[in-house]
Amino acid sequence: SDRWHISSSPDVCSGKPCVTGTRIRVQDIYIWHELEGRSVDEIISEFPQLTSADIYAALAFSWDHRQEILDQIKRDAEIIVSLKARQSSSRP
């Protein structure tokens, strides 16, 4: 049965595009495959709820919305840096 592989919902991962029915974000699949060089099979072995069609749909979505995905990755990295800086400055 065919289904939509990618969806966005305000109550799932702050509305970021995810594989439908999961909390796995398109940007995560993009990072794993494109930046870390993991194969589709490696991703599926770690996340067996995903199908190869899910992964290819996420990759296609990431290429269709490349700047949006890259901006999300950059914002998330900036948030992490900011949180780490705040934690280290609050230590006695």
**Could you report the per-residue pLDDT of 6-64, keeping only the tens digit for each?**
999 999 999 999 999 999 999 999 999 999 999 999 999 999 999 999 999 999 999 99
Residue type, 6: I
Instruction: Give the confidence band of 3 by pLDDT, cuts at 50, 70, 90.
Output: low
pTM for the structure as a whole: 0.84
- pLDDT at position 90: 77
pLDDT at 1 over 70: no
Give the ranges where 2-48 is alpha helix by DSSP (H). 26-30, 40-46
Q: What share of the chain is helix, strand, coil (3-state, %, to 5)?
A: 60, 10, 30
Token readout for 85 is 């800086």
